[in-house]
């Protein structure tokens, strides 16, 4: 028994060290870190840690102990939460959907705004807002349409009870980042037909997913290997969420699942022609690489659903949307999704304010208070959102 414990004490640290070395090697083989980044060494270290956690999770999944996403979520959940003494935070349920309500403790003579966002405490405090965060169902246990369904359910429930929470019904803001931004676009479009509910004052979309069709936009090509959201990771998650067999992922990336006649109809919204020239490099590849595959189209055709690609909503729907604030990051594979949706809204007369973070990368905002791993771009983007909401 003593020998077994000795083997474990010596062997396990060696295995963990070996995995971290592998993660470092994997980072330098696959990841691209632009020289313009503020702290490239810190960025590289963080990505190595993420790769290390994902590798451990993958091993546990192969051993059938737990799924890799569950393990990564566990690592995230064990991190300490900073409590803000100026906020009252309440966990509750709207039906079966878990939500977390953030309310400033200080009394206010005016009814407060509401907004949704990952950095809930900061936004609620800095904007003097009541803020509701939706705990929508996620991968790997839940797939489409769990996210928009849960977010819409929670939004409707909250809009019906604004007076209960002291929220001014004329100043409600919906806000989301990445997948949350995608949910904002879908929910805001769905609410248009619900005239009995208070209208949304504004929508804030931060690095949103707005389509799952064209994976060869300039940002998809230029920043395909930039952590923490590579094009491969993005497309893999989309396939898992939409329950598309991973064998069709390559067809999606090449665009061979797009029928020529359908592309002709929608390229006015989906094409890189809508991206300003200053965001394009000289070595861009064609958007549709190979010959059309009907089999690939039949397996992936739900990507044309507006609950998957809100960019494809009809003009009448888009024209009725509330004003928008768009935040995009230069070194982000989803940069052009934001730019396409921005143009789509503007073309239909929807007022759009836009803040582009030249040195930003996907997911940087959640690091704004994670010192020493924060970046100046994190707080710049967050302050821009605060400034916009306070100005409404």
Residues, the chain, total?
A: 392
Token code pair at residue 11: 């062997």
Active-site residue identified among 115, 121, 129, 178? 178
Sign of CA dihedral 303, 96, 190, 186: negative
Question: Is 178 labeled as catalytic in the residue annotation?
Answer: yes
Residue 199 phi/psi, 5-degree rounding, is -80, 150
C-alpha distances in Å from residue 161, one per residue of 27, 116, 158, 168, 272: 48, 16, 5, 11, 42
Radius of gyration of the chain (CA): 22
HEC assignment per residue over 11-22: HHHHHHHHHHHH
The answer to whether the CB of 72 falls within 8 A of the CB of 53 is yes
Please tell me which residue in 150, 332, 336, 337 is annotated as part of the active site.
332
Strand partners, 13: none
**How far apart (Å, rounded) are the C-alpha atoms in residues 346 and 170?**
23
Cα distance between the two ends of the chain: 68
What stretch of H or E contains 359? strand 352-361
What per-residue string of b and e applies to 250-281 under the rule 16 or more CB within 10 Å gives b? ebbbbbbbbeeebbeebbebbebebbeeebbe
| Residue 102 near residue 87 (C-beta atoms within 8 A) | yes
Query: Would you say 231 and 220 are in contact if contact means Cβ atoms under 8 Å apart?
Result: yes
- H/E run at residue 232: helix 231-241
**In contact, 384 and 117? CB cutoff 8 Å:** no
Catalytic residue among 114, 121, 362, 378: 362
Active site residue 362: yes
Q: Which positions are catalytic?
A: 178, 332, 362
């Amino acid at each position: 028994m003593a020998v077994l414990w000795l083997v474990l004490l010596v062997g396990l640290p060696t295995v963990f060290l070996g995995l971290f070395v592998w993660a470092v090697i994997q980072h330098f083989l696959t990841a691209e870190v632009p020289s313009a980044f503020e702290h490239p060494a810190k960025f590289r270290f963080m990505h190595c840690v993420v790769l290390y956690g994902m590798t451990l999770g993958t091993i546990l999944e192969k051993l059938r102990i737990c799924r890799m996403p569950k393990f990564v979520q566990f690592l995230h959940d064990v991190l300490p939460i900073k409590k803000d003494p100026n906020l009252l935070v309440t966990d509750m349920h709207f039906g079966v959907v878990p939500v977390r309500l953030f309310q400033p403790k200080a009394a206010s003579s005016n009814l407060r705004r509401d907004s949704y966002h990952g950095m809930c405490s900061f936004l609620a405090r800095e904007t003097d807002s009541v803020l509701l965060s939706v705990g929508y169902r996620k991968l790997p246990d839940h797939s489409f349409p769990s996210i928009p369904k849960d977010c819409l359910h929670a939004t409707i429930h909250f809009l019906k009870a604004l007076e209960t929470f002291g929220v001014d019904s004329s100043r409600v803001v919906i806000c989301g980042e990445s997948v949350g931004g995608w949910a904002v676009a879908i929910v805001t479009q769905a609410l248009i037909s619900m005239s009995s509910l208070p209208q949304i004052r504004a929508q804030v979309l931060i690095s949103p997913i707005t389509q799952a069709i064209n994976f060869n936009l300039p940002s998809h090509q230029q920043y395909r290997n930039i952590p923490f959201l590579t094009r491969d990771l993005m497309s893999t998650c989309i396939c898992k969420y939409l329950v598309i067999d991973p064998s069709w992922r390559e067809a999606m990336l090449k665009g061979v699942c797009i029928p020529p006649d359908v592309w002709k109809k929608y390229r006015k919204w989906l094409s890189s022609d809508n991206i300003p020239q200053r965001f394009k490099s000289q070595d861009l590849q064609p958007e549709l690489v190979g010959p059309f595959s009907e089999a690939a189209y039949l397996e992936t055709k739900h990507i044309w659903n507006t609950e998957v690609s809100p960019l494809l909503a009809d003009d009448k729907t888009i024209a009725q949307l509330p004003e928008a604030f768009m935040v995009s990051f230069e070194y982000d594979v989803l940069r052009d999704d934001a730019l396409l949706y921005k143009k789509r809204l503007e073309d239909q007369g929807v007022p759009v304010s836009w803040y582009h973070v030249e040195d930003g990368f996907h997911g940087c905002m959640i690091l704004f208070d994670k010192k020493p791993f924060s970046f100046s771009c994190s707080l710049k983007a967050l302050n821009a959102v605060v400034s916009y909401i306070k100005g409404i």
